[in-house]
Chain A
Amino acid sequence: MHKILRTICATLLALAAGSAAEESEAIKIGVLYPLTGSGAVLGVPALMGHDMAVEEINARGGIEGRPVVSIARDSKVKPAVAAAAARELITREEVDVLIGGLSSAEGLALSEVARQEKVVYIATIPKTVQMTNEKFHKYVFRTAANTDTEARAMARTSGQIGIEKICQIQFDYAYGHDLAAGFIAALPEEAPGAEIVLDLKVKLGTADFNPYIAQIMASDCDGVASGLWGANFINLAQQGKPFGLFDKVKFVSGGEIGAHEIAGKMKGDYPDNVWSNSYELWYHDHVPQHKTFHDKLARRQGTRETSSWAVLGYIGVQFFEAAAARAGAVDGEALIAALEGLTVETPVGSRTLDPRTHEANTGQFWGPMTKTEQYEFRIMDPVTYIASE
């Protein structure tokens, strides 16, 4: 009897040791996106793209033969929650890298943790220029576009469609502040003669836009510049329509409200006269490899009309994989050296991380949101890719 027990114990021990060895071999990614609350709309598809990329790596046999494990945490669009989860991922789960973040405030918080813990952080969605300017440090990289690039594209669009008097409405936090500042700075060059006649700041989470709509309607502007993203735009659009807001002004907006997540769900409710942006559009093959990516995503989502935020999660992992393979290691210093100047063929085109600023040259698709005969929702048509500078 003792013998049997001993055998069982020995087998169990061997199994445990074996799995432990395997565990230590795996490369661990800590991924943070909002999965509940108001940010889930964007965080859930971003994580889907992330997971898709990780599965593809493992199907190819991992990175240098090591499997990749991804440990996800819900950041809840709260900087404090994101930071605490990131610390837990680093200290308890011993992840090799942090990827993700949604809002600019989250991005700044995650970047701070990365700096203190000396772990590389790849920001896939946060756009504030602060992360790569005054708050820059060597552990932070950004594959998202930045607010300056987005603001310049907004200013250019405003100039092209001939807006002269602009009401600006932006969120009262890092993203809104930086986008507003970038827009004002780019205006003289991109839209000479255009001026800002009203500058509105809105608290994030505001659901009632009527007081602001009334101010825009009472002003003499012929265009609105905005960065109200996601559900916030739906609030503004639904409340603005009966006031005739979208008959009075041309609406130029960052915040990817040209993405199919918005247009596909709003359908006939999507207002007229909107020019906006998106990182990806399922109906637009900018580069040949987009088709392959879209086919895979469509299978995963079970629809051809796929989510545009998935590509951001996907690209973050692509960069990590390429860097780890290039470095042959995943420790902080080796990863940093490998990421600097790294070029990756993403589903939306080639991207290179600037060795000096640690930012990818990520541009976005821009265009008017147009009604079509073919679909019950609006699509961006014509689509123009506006690159970063």
Chain B
Amino acid sequence: MLGNPTFLFIQTLNALALGMNMFIIAAGLTLIFGVLRVINFAHGAFFMVGAYACFSVFEWSGNFWLGVVGAGLVLGVLAWVLERFLLRHLYARDHLVQLLFTFALVLILGDVVKIFWGADQYSVSYPAGLDGAVDLGLVHYPSYLLFLCGLGPVVALGLWLAIAKTRWGRIIRAATQDREMLAALGINVPLVYTGVFAAGAALAGMGGALAAPRIALAPGMDATIVVECFIIVIIGGLGSLWGSFLGALILAFVTVFGAVLVPELEMVLTYVLMVVVLLWRPWGLCGRPETERV
């Protein structure tokens, strides 16, 4: 089948679209880890709440894009409150306590979703104008997937510019290096933390909203995505933006071509990939070896 160039082309686009959607979600995870050093198990739950929020806003307004923005806002506000009143008190504690906290969030948000939306399954329609296919000469390809392929790099570039070129970005980078010095310079470090956590969660929420037209909204939809996100950031390097971009692409290509070429090994391949990367570069493809933080 791979001898057929059309087929190869379509599967490549499939991998790109999948990878870009996953990147947007994983970028939030890596951002949160980079600054807060918190391993956020609730990232998948944020993704799920985002998808449901998009569904509700879409039902109410009929506008998908409003749903995406709404999902970002809902998650941003939710995460702001969570960080400000709960998570903040755990930074001085052991990593394990933070891990337990985010894991508790997974369970609580799972129930919250059931309370608000029930145990039913929902679908979200493709946004108007992106519900068909585009003629690419060789083949017709779904326009929504092409949109995702294009959106990923735009988000990556936008985030990179924000972190590398703006004042806020400099503060965030400084926060990853030395939070005490930053505080001494008169920066409100706790506020930076809250903001980054909210932004990371908003990315997960918008990622969920963007995935919503392609997947069913149902309880448990957060289970696989959180594993995939962790694989992505581990391959790419925890805390590295371009690492998660690369990691998402690699995972997507392995998933798509694994499913076609060696369907019985598809799941194993992903983990083999992770093991190989960890053996070769334990700090990930784009990460830096962890130096002792004082």
A residues sitting closer than 8 Å to B (CB atoms) are 35-41, 43-45, 200-201, 203, 205-208, 210-212, 214-215, 217-218, 230-235, 237-239, 241-244, 261-262, 265-266, 268-269
Check B125 against A235 for contact (C-beta < 8 Å): no
Known contacts being A211-B14, A215-B260, A269-B123, is A232 close to B216, with CB within 8 Å?
Answer: yes
Whether B271 sits at the interface, judged by CB under 8 Å, is: no
**Chain B interfacial positions (CB closer than 8 Å to A):** 1, 4, 6-7, 10-11, 14, 17-18, 110-111, 114, 118-126, 131-133, 140, 142-145, 213-221, 223-225, 255-257, 259-260, 263-264, 266-267
> Would A242 and B133 count as touching, CB distance under 8 A?
yes
- Given A212-B259, A269-B123: A36 in contact with B114 (beta carbons within 8 A): yes
Q: Is the CB of B260 within 8 A of A261?
A: no
Name which residue of chain B comes closest to A76, CB basis: B220
Closest 9 interchain pairs by CB? A242-B142, A234-B216, A38-B220, A231-B216, A37-B220, A210-B14, A231-B218, A211-B259, A44-B119
Residues of chain B within 8 A (CB-CB) of A211 are: 11, 14, 255-257, 259-260
Q: Which of B216, B221, B225, B267 has the most CB of A within 10 A?
A: B216
CB distance A238 to B213 under 8 Å? yes
Task: Determine chain A's interface SS by DSSP, over half rule.
Answer: helix
Taking a contact as CB atoms under 8 Å apart, the answer to whether A41 and B10 are in contact is: no
Partner among A205, A214, A215, A261 whose Cβ is within 8 Å of the Cβ of B223: A205
Chain A residues near B218: list those with CB within 8 A. 38, 40-41, 230-231, 234
Whole-angstrom CA separation of A255 from B225 in the bound complex? 24
Given A36-B114, A262-B121; A238-B215 close (CB under 8 Å): yes
Chain A residues within an 8 Å CB radius of B122: 265
Are A231's CB and B223's CB within 8 A?
no
Q: In the complex, A214→B14 CA distance in Å? A: 9
Q: In the complex the two chains form, is B144's CB within 8 Å of A242's CB? A: yes
Q: Least Cβ distance of A73 to chain B in Å?
A: 16
The 16 sampled A-B contact pairs (Cβ below 8 Å) are A36-B111, A38-B220, A41-B119, A41-B121, A43-B119, A203-B267, A208-B18, A208-B255, A210-B256, A211-B11, A211-B257, A217-B10, A231-B215, A242-B142, A242-B144, A243-B140
Contact B131 A214, beta carbon cutoff 8 Å: no
Contact assessment for B1 and A218 in the assembled complex, using a CB-CB cutoff below 8 Å: yes
Task: Please report the C-alpha to C-alpha distance between residue A207 and residue B110 in the assembled complex, in whole angstroms.
Answer: 18
Residue in A closest to B257 when the chains form the complex, CB atoms: A211
Given B121, B140, B257, B263, which contacts A230 in the complex, CB threshold below 8 Å? B121
Determine which of A208, A215, A266 lies in contact with B123 in the assembled complex, contact meaning CB atoms within 8 Å.
A266
Which residues of chain A have C-beta atoms less than 8 A from B124's C-beta? 269
Distance, CA A201 to CA B260, complexed state (A): 10
A269 to B4, CA, bound (A): 31
A259 to B215, CA, bound (A): 19
Choose from A45, A238, A266 the contact partner of B214 (Cβ within 8 Å).
Answer: A238
A268 to B62, CA, bound (A): 13
User: Which of A38, A265, A269 touches B219 (beta carbons < 8 Å)?
Assistant: A38
Give complex CA distance A242, B257 in Å: 21
Task: Please give, as numbers and ranges, the residues of chain B lying within 8 Å of A217 by CB-CB distance.
Answer: 10
Could you list 19 further interchain pairs (A-B, Cβ under 8 angstroms) beyond the known A215-B1, A218-B10, A238-B216? Answer: A36-B114, A36-B220, A37-B223, A38-B220, A39-B220, A40-B114, A208-B14, A211-B259, A215-B260, A230-B216, A231-B218, A237-B123, A238-B215, A239-B214, A242-B144, A244-B133, A244-B140, A268-B125, A269-B124
Q: How far is the CB of A208 from chain B (nearest CB, A)?
A: 5
Docked pose: A305 CA to B257 CA in angstroms: 42
Bound together, the chains give a CA A290 to CA B145 distance in angstroms of 45
- A217 nearest CB across to chain B (Å): 8
A243 and B142 form a contact (CB under 8 A): yes
Q: What is the distance, in angstroms, from B283's C-beta to the closest C-beta of chain A? A: 28
Nearest A residue (CB) for B213: A238
Instruction: Evaluate whether A243 and B216 lie within 8 angstroms (CB atoms) in the complex, with A214-B10, A265-B121 already known.
Output: no
Q: Which residues of A have CB within 8 Å of B225? A: 207
Contact of B221 among A201, A210, A231, A243 (CB under 8 A): A231
Evaluate whether A238 and B120 lie within 8 angstroms (CB atoms) in the complex, with A36-B114, A218-B7 already known. Answer: no
CB distance from A198 to the nearest CB of B (A): 10
Min CB distance B269 to A, Å, is 12
**A237-B219 Cα distance, complex, nearest whole Å:** 18
Bound: A37/B224 CA distance, A: 11
Task: Check B125–A269 contact: CB distance below 8 A.
Answer: yes
Contact B126 A210 (CB under 8 A): no
